[in-house]
Amino acid sequence: MNKKEAQQNRSFIEGIQFFQNLTSEQKDKVSGVLIPQKFAKGQAIVNEKDPGSSFYIIKEGVCSVQKEGKEVKRLVKGESFGEMALLSNNGLRQMSIVAAEDT
């Protein structure tokens, strides 16, 4: 990862509530280990009831949040998802996330 990408990742992390209690050093470490992924329009990113093992930050694109196949919300650049499955006791995804456009 180059310095520009690390700085951009850090900027995204600053705006996400999930990371607000981390120290500056911890935020730097997290921003240095983020892994970029690309999803095509219509591609499922996570599926409802699947085990959760990842946290996602949208750097570009739009995602559809779906419950039982029906859209309940849209997520855009700078928003994130996946923390609830990581923090909950059962660790299962409560909703599906699908790329509404290339993301």
The DSSP call for residue 92 is B
Residue range 37-103, CATH number: 2.60.120.10
The residue extents of the domains of the chain are: 1-36, 37-103
At 83, which helix (H) or strand (E)?
Answer: helix 83-87
Which range, 18-32, 54-68, 78-92, is most confident? 54-68
Q: How many CB atoms lie within 10 A of CB 102?
A: 13
- 3 pLDDT tier (thresholds 50, 70, 90): confident
pLDDT in tens, 5-56: 878 888 888 888 888 899 999 998 888 888 889 999 999 999 999 988 888 9
Q: Which pLDDT score is estimated for 89?
A: 66
